[in-house]
Amino acid sequence: MPDPFTIAGIEIASRLILGTGGAPSMQVIDETIVASGTAMCTVAMRRADAATGGSIIDVIDRRGVRVLPNTAGCQTAFEAVRTAQLAREALGTDWVKLEVIADERTLLPDPVELLEAAGQLVGLGFTVLPYTNDDPVLARRLQRIGCAAVMPLGSPIGSGLGIQNPHNIELIVSEAEVPVILDAGVGTASDAALAMELGCDGVLLASSVTRAQDPALMAAAMAAAVRAGRLARLAGRIPRRRHAQASSPLEGMAVL
């Protein structure tokens, strides 16, 4: 059953967005795109002489999925805006996954530079999807400035530590007027399911699939997890209770 969502008026057919970083080969990326059923993949922009192993764009175009360039590695608003402009020229899309990191050790977003870059890019006509901290106040500010989605981290990029602060993700979701996409930190399928149970509109992940022992199999697991989490969210979970509550009737017990 298709379950699309909409970003900036564009319908995205799958709630699982796939990052392509970390895969051992283009063949593996191709297999994970197919196995995940994704409709959108991220790419980075790098010097042409550093590019090896064939064209990622050829793979993405062949599978008919949308490309979402990122500004990975940028540490200032200036660098991020320039990189987004280069990506727009390279790929013919004004969508950008905006990343402005504070340092290479934590890869955590720099909130001051991020907000500045987001404001500039919105002004330049970009559809901005910012990778942000799990900070409800920053998420609010990013929306207010015109971002088309907010993409809070579950935990640091590539850490596989899952969702460290589910309460903050819930709070961001409860206030959001744009799609919320959990981005970064997913380690395994249950993390992706939890993101959807918390009310996220989608999940963006890379390392957990591309660096899994069997990337295509993990891509299929992530697709199932996103679907399961989404259904559970729609179904409405039972409240947590301090004590047991019998599901079998207590009346009519035999006297033995």
Partner 1 sequence: MNLTVNGTPQTLPERMTLAELMVRENAASRGSAAAVDGVVVPRRSWEAFMLSDGSSVEVLTAVQGG
Q: Which residues are catalytically annotated?
A: 97
Of 51 and 137, CB closest to partner 1: 51
Chain-centre distance of CA 154, in angstroms?
Answer: 10
Q: Which residue has the tokens 């006297």?
A: 255
Kindly state whether residue 206 participates in binding partner 1, applying the rule CB under 8 A.
yes
Of 32 and 141, CB closest to partner 1: 32
Are the beta carbons of 71 and 83 closer than 8 angstroms? yes
DSSP for 121-165, written as a single string:
HHHTT-EEEEEE-S-HHHHHHHHHTT-S-BEE-SSSTT-----S-
Q: Which listed range, 63-71, 174-182, 215-223, 248-256, lies at the site for partner 1 (CB under 8 A)?
A: 63-71
CB of 43 to partner 1, least distance (A): 4
CB of 119 to partner 1, least distance (A): 19
> Which amino acid, one-letter code, is at 168?
N
Kindly state whether residue 187 participates in binding partner 1, applying the rule CB under 8 A.
no
Kindly state whether residue 63 participates in binding partner 1, applying the rule CB under 8 A.
no
229: helix, strand or coil: helix
- Residues 85-114 as x/- pattern, contact with partner 1 by CB under 8 A: xxx-xxxx----------------------
Give the Cα separation of 210 and 227 in Å (integer).
Answer: 20
Kindly state whether residue 20 participates in binding partner 1, applying the rule CB under 8 A.
yes
Q: Which listed range, 21-29, 110-118, 136-144, 223-231, lies at the site for partner 1 (CB under 8 A)?
A: 21-29
Kindly state whether residue 75 participates in binding partner 1, applying the rule CB under 8 A.
no
Query: What's phi and psi for 14, nearest 5 deg?
Result: -130, 145
Burial class (CB in 10 A: 0-12, 13-18, 19+), 20: buried
- Residue 155, both tokens: 């935990």
> Which residues of the chain form contacts with partner 1 (CB under 8 A)?
19-23, 29, 42-51, 55-57, 61, 67, 69-70, 72, 82, 85-87, 89-92, 157-158, 184, 206-207
